Amino acid sequence: MLLEIKDFGICNLSVAPVRASASDASEIVTQLLFGDAVEVIEKGQPWVKIRFTADNYEGWMDFKQLTYIDQEEYDKVSSIPLQYLQDPLLTITGPRGKQNIMLGSALVNFKDNTMIFGKEIYTTEQIVNAGALNLIQTSLDYLNTPYLWGGKSIFGIDCSGLVQNIFKVHGKLLPRDASAQVHEGELIAYADRKVGDVPFFINAKGIVHHVGILTKENEIIHAAGCVRLDPFDEKGIFRTDLDKYTHHYQSIRRY
- State how far the Cα of 205 lies from the Cα of 76, in Å rounded to an integer: 44
**Over residues 123-138, mean pLDDT:** 90
Those residues with Cβ within 8 angstroms of residue 240's Cβ, 6 or more apart along the chain or in another chain: 230, 231
pTM of the predicted model as reported, rounded to 2 decimal places: 0.95
Contacts of 198 (CB under 8 A, 6+ apart): 163, 181, 185, 211, 212, 213, 214, 252, 253, 254, 255
Rounded CA separation 238/138 (Å): 23
CA–CA dist 12, 36 (Å, integer): 8
Q: Distance between the two ends of the chain, CA-based, in angstroms?
A: 47
pLDDT in tens, 203-253: 999 999 999 999 999 999 999 999 999 999 999 999 999 999 999 999 999
Task: Give the tens place of pLDDT for each residue, 164-192.
Answer: 999 999 999 999 999 999 999 999 999 99
In percent, the amount of the chain with pLDDT more than 70 equals: 99
Q: Comparing C-alpha atoms, which of 89, 146, 95 is closest to residue 118?
A: 95
pLDDT band at 132 (very low <50, low <70, confident <90, very high): low
Distance between CA atoms of residues 32 and 17, nearest Å: 7
pLDDT, tens digit, for every residue of 64-85?
A: 999 999 999 999 998 888 899 9
Which positions are annotated as active-site residues? 159, 210, 222
Backbone dihedral angles phi then psi of residue 156, each to the nearest 5 degrees? 170, 125
